[in-house]
Amino acid sequence: MEKPSRLKVVASFLFRFLRVLIVLGIACAIAFWLYTLKSKPEKKQLVRIPPSVRIFEAHSRSKVMTVEAFGTVSPRKLVKIAVEVPGRIDYLNPSFLEGGLIRNQDLLIQIDQRSYRLGKEAAAVRVNQARVDIDSLNQEIKNLKNDIELAKDNVGLSQKELTRIAALSKNQFASKTSLDKAEQQHLAARIQLQAVRNRLLLTPPMMALKKSALAMANVEFNKANLALERTRIISGFDGFVLDKQTEVGEYVNPGQVLGSIYEKDALDVEVRIPLEQMKWIQTFFSKGHTPEARVSIANFEGPGQRVWEAKVARIKAKIDEKTRTLPMTLEIQTKINGAGAKASSSQGSLSQAYLFDLKPGTFVKCKIIGETHENIFVLPRHLLKPGDILFIVKDGHLEMRPVKVLRKFEDEVYINGGLNNKDKIISSPLPGAIEGMQLTIKINGEKQTGIKQ
């Protein structure tokens, strides 16, 4: 029974093995048939394409060097309004408010004048009294001079009478008593003349005293008049009120600040210039001139941006020790470039225009106009490679050309050496750049290879 079962197992194994061989054979036949049907691929030679770049021609031009700085607008002429005499305020200009427009010779503040007018009147009375005293003394001097003439005549007559009595007494025609009486009369006449002369001699110091009293009375009058004038505070220029610190009815004391005003169209900006930037404007100062400047509101750009003309007014004598910069002051001019209303003569128009004008405290950007350099190439700063190298296309190949950089300013670079007009400068990125490598240049959107440049 064991032999027939073994034969059956062997036969089953051989049958399955035979089926596997048949399947493998069919698969191999099909694979060979598909291989014979495959077309032979065409061989192509690999061609290396040069990198594609964009270029533009270099053209020199004149370039004005500028120095930029930021600063804050401040009044050139700021006046604090303070009283010089005590009193109660009885008038305040309606425009004396923060931001109010004040005209030249406008009455700003007036203090109660009644007591000061009385003081002036009293001083005037003292002046008149001193003048009357002088006139009275002058008349007295005139009278004394007349009295002297009369006293001289009296002395002369008494002398004649004494001479006549003495002659008669000598011939014993007159008594001794008559002679003594004549001598007494003559002596009395001389004493009277001397007394009048003494009184006249005292008049010069009395006149000096009276004139001194008159001068003092005039001084008191001028002081009273000045005090009366100081009760009125008048504007000395067209300007704007910066701040106000008083009201009508308030009692004020000398030296008390009531507010402040600043002159219209008289604004300055103090900027600080790094020392290394001074070389671009130094020649102006060396020639005795001051450079011009442009002032605009910082962080404001657009079609309505206004630019104010300015000039460098003065340079401070000391360098800032903290920032190592040189402070200088710019005077803003009234001329305006750009959009904006101009001030007219009416107060309303002036106030309306001023709403769009510069005001103290405005943060501004200042551009100082420096020297003009000729034959300068102005390029985007990103085109300059480390080591001051520019990528140039020459005869269809890359040239890494060193150039002389005059200045790097914002996003531009100014080149004044190593570059020629019509040189082809690569403006597109070129990774893996190698000196002399061949390039493909884009012209009008199409690639051109090996073009002579």
pLDDT tens, position by position, 322-345: 888 999 999 998 654 444 333 333
**Stronger pLDDT, 429 or 10, i.e. the higher one:** 429
39: which 2 tokens? 């077309």
Q: pLDDT band for position 355 (50/70/90)? A: very low
Describe the strand order of the beta sheet including 232-234 as a list of residue ranges. 232-234, 107-111, 87-92, 251-252
pTM of the predicted model, to two decimals? 0.64
| R_g (Cα) of the chain, nearest Å | 56
At residue 430, does pLDDT exceed 60? Answer: yes
Q: Above 90 in pLDDT, residue 179?
A: no
DSSP element (H, E) containing 386: none
Query: What pLDDT is attached to residue 337?
Result: 47
pLDDT above 70 covers what percent of the chain?
A: 88
The average pLDDT across 144-154 equals 90
Strand runs labelled E in 76-168 = 78-82, 87-92, 101-102, 107-111
The closest alpha carbon to 258, from 235, 290, 275, 279, belongs to: 235
pLDDT of residue 415: 92
Q: Which fold has domain 46-75+266-453?
A: Elongation Factor Tu (Ef-tu); domain 3 (2.40.30)
Q: pLDDT category, 70, cuts 50, 70, 90?
A: very high
pLDDT of residue 244: 93
The domain segmentation of the chain, as residue ranges, is 46-75+266-453, 77-111+231-262, 116-229
CB neighbourhood size of 287 (10 A):
8
pLDDT top residue among 171 and 242: 242
Q: Closest Cα partner for 159 from 118, 198, 188? A: 188
CATH hierarchy code of domain 116-229: 1.20.58
CATH level 2 (architecture), domain 77-111+231-262: Beta Barrel (2.40)
- Which pLDDT belongs to residue 443? 58
